[in-house]
């Protein structure tokens, strides 16, 4: 199969085909996740929690992401491999592009993801000018958990919702290729999805996003604290490949997420 690219996911949005994303942090899982048809494999900084045992993503380094991304990408044939820029690795455009280059060259990532809206516009523009594909991540941005005062739904107040919409449109104008929406009320996520030309990939953001993403360990039910928006697909006698396939199918046929995994 042909490799999924930023063009592919944009076409999927325009055709109304759901984009399926899942994390993978090692070679064995990367191969299975790729084989089961996941479109975008995320080497996310949630590895700080599920691989390293920290209670946030704050301690994760660029080297940590590279270590996992190098193990993942060579095992994939079809998926677009996305890697997170970790906390404090993109505080200005030059630092960001230097670290993005490392994720792509040493880590073999195809696209990088960073958290933030307005504050990241210059960085997104800089990366775009230099041919680095970028996915933005807004709503709940876990790297700023200590500033946010906990993991909570974002955009419930009118002002916050307006800000999120203007951030998303500005990120698109700056050249972002996609945007992750985390813990955003269903109606706001739908509005963002309708107003943007680039795909939205939701986690705790309702079924009207252009795609969905989950952390693999949550999806197979082995996280110590599974968030409300995740679901265990490793049940009914399924093995791991079948559980991943069930997740892929559930996103495509709109049976995941259900209202239980959403915020209103």
167 binds, options ligand KIV, Na ion, none, Cβ within 5 to 8 A by partner type: none
Cα(71)–Cα(215) distance, rounded to whole angstroms?
17
Candidates 19-27, 84-92, 104-112, 173-181: pick the segment binding Na ion (CB under 5 A).
84-92
Nearest to 80 by CA among 137, 184, 10, 172: 10
Helix (H) or strand (E) holding 19: strand 19-23
* Known catalytic membership, residue 17: no
> Based on CB atoms, which residue is closest to Na ion, 87 or 245?
87
Q: Is 46 annotated as a binding residue?
A: yes
Number of H helices, E strands in the chain: 11, 8
Q: How many CB atoms lie within 10 A of CB 45?
A: 29
> Based on CB atoms, which residue is closest to ligand KIV, 1 or 150?
150
Q: Which residue is nearest to ligand KIV (CB)?
A: 44
Cα(177)–Cα(107) distance, rounded to whole angstroms?
20
> Based on CB atoms, which residue is closest to ligand KIV, 52 or 94?
52
Does position 84 interact with Na ion (CB under 5 A)? The reply is yes
Q: What are the backbone angles phi and psi of residue 84, rounded to the nearest 5°?
A: -80, 135
Q: What are the backbone angles phi and psi of residue 38, rounded to the nearest 5°?
A: -65, 135
Query: Contact with ligand KIV (CB under 6 A): which of 8, 25, 44, 202?
Result: 44
Nearest to 210 by CA among 62, 4, 19: 19
Of 106, 182, 194, 197, which one is the catalytic site residue? 182
Q: What's the min distance (Å) between Cβ of 138 and ligand KIV?
A: 11
Going by the annotation, the residues of the binding site are 45-46, 84, 113, 115
The residues of the shown chain that bind Na ion, judged by CB under 5 A, are 44-45, 84
The residues of the shown chain that bind ligand KIV, judged by CB under 6 A, are 23, 42, 44-46, 84, 180, 182, 203, 213, 215
């Amino acid at each position: 199969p042909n490799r999924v690219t930023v063009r592919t996911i944009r076409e999927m949005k325009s055709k109304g085909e759901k984009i399926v994303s899942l994390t993978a942090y090692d070679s064995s899982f990367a191969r299975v996740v790729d084989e089961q048809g996941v479109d975008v494999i995320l080497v996310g900084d949630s590895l700080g929690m599920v691989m390293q045992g920290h209670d946030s993503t704050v301690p994760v380094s660029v080297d940590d992401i590279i270590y996992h991304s190098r193990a993942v990408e060579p095992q994939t044939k079809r998926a677009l491999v996305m890697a997170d820029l970790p906390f404090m690795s993109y505080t200005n455009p030059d630092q960001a592009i230097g670290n993005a280059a490392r994720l792509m060259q040493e880590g073999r990532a195809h696209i990088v993801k960073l958290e933030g809206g307005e504050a990241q516009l210059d960085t997104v523009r800089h990366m775009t000018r230099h041919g680095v594909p970028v996915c933005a991540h807004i709503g709940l941005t876990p790297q700023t958990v200590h500033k946010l005062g906990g993991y909570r739904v974002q955009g419930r107040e009118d002002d916050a919702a307006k800000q999120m919409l203007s951030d998303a449109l500005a990120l698109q104008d700056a050249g972002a290729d996609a945007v992750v929406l985390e813990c955003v009320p269903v109606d706001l996520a739908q509005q963002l999805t309708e107003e943007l030309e680039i795909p939205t990939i939701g986690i705790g953001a309702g079924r009207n996003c252009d795609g969905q993403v989950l952390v693999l360990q949550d999806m197979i039910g082995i996280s110590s604290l599974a968030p409300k928006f995740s679901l265990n697909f490793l049940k009914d006698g399924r093995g791991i490949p079948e559980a991943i396939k069930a997740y892929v199918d559930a996103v495509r046929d709109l049976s995941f997420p259900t209202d239980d995994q959403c915020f209103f």
